[in-house]
Structure 1
Amino acid sequence: MKYFLDYETRESPYLLNIEHLKNPFAYKLKVNLSEVGEPQEMVVDIPETFNYLLGLKVKKIKARENNSRRYLFILGEKEGRNIAIVWREYSDSWKEEDFKKDKEFIVNEIKEWQPSIVYINGQSVLTPTIGEIRYIEPEFKRLMES
């Protein structure tokens, strides 16, 4: 039954599509706010949803821009550990130089926080020198299924 449900709903505009988090600030879902009428497409606060699912106690939020790309840094605590969550707009067309600049910018923004764990959306070249690196998409999917 679960396989059938996964198959039937994989392209549904009513369910979160983890593959579309390249721009987490403009993610839309069809939402029905009333019992009658057509569902409306609305922007969903993906970062806030992830914080909630993760059980993060948010301490600080920083919105930044770098190379015309939006970044959102969420700094918080969970189980006595400092956690940094990095959301940013990215593209499949990024080159090696784009990833290097991205890494430099992120490291500079979170180094004071000294996180144990850093969650990031999409591909990155972050290294464990700033904390354990975890990717948001598989974690988001795991949290939504539990």
Structure 2
Amino acid sequence: MQAFADPTAYKLKVKRPGSDESRELNVDLLETFNWLIGLSVRHIAARQIFNAAFERDSEKRLQLDGRLKQDASGPYWFRTVSGSTPDGRKTLVIWRKLTGEPEQDNLVLDEWFAKQSCSARDSEFDLIYVNGGNNLENLKTPDALWKVRLIEEDFHRLMFEADGV
């Protein structure tokens, strides 16, 4: 869903009761998603903002030209929420701003994920949610047990599908 490309800019058209008039309201996707999955929040991290330069290697694969650099004016940002679901699964939710360049967005996510030592703490989480297409499953070590899910899919299912239908 393109609407989740910038989680801070999500808007919803809300109809005023008793009229045909509607207005756009900002929706706090982070808090709404926590509520939808029943997350008992342990920690909400501050947003981290980065800049990156890219190059192609000899086999035309995209790679970083240098390192991922913290930069308040950078186009890439991440914000995480950790906690547990009602069934006891330790959960990490990764929110990020997508630029519309999936190959770059995913490379930056992979680098950020490795830099955060998430991979070193594989056993800490049972479930990892992330917005936007990604390839985090490919970063799992053989002994890692965590599973990656798309925020958009569960958000849509939990928000808009009626029970028992």
Q: TM-score, normalised by structure 2?
A: 0.66
The aligned counterpart of 2:40 is 57
Moved over 4 A (4+): 32-37
- TM alignment of 1:38-117, pairs within 5 A: 38-62=21-45, 63-67=47-51, 68=74, 69-78=76-85, 79-95=87-103, 97-109=104-116, 111=118, 112=121, 114-117=124-127
The aligned counterpart of 1:133 is 148
Larger radius of gyration: 2
- Identity, in percent, stands at 32
The aligned counterpart of 2:64 is none
Q: Where do 5+ consecutive residues of structure 2 fail to align?
A: 52-73
Q: CA deviation at 1:33?
A: 6.0
Richer in helix (by share): 1
SS at match of 1:25: helix
2:133 to 111, 114, 123: 123
Paired residues of 1:100 and 1:125 also in contact (CA < 8 A): no
Q: For the residues of structure 1 that align with 2:22 and 2:116, how far apart are their CA atoms? A: 39
Q: For the residues of structure 2 that align with 1:72 and 1:33, how far apart are their CA atoms? A: 32
Q: CA deviation at 1:109?
A: 3.0
Paired residues of 2:84 and 2:90 also in contact (CA < 8 A): yes
- Counterpart of 1:82 in structure 2: which amino acid? K
Q: For the residues of structure 2 that align with 1:93 and 1:19, how far apart are their CA atoms? A: 12
Q: Where do 5+ consecutive residues of structure 1 fail to align?
A: 1-17
Structural RMSD (CA): 2.4
SS at match of 1:87: strand
- Count of residues in Structure 1 that have an aligned counterpart in Structure 2: 128
- Counterpart of 1:22 in structure 2: which amino acid? A
Q: TM-score, normalised by structure 1?
A: 0.74
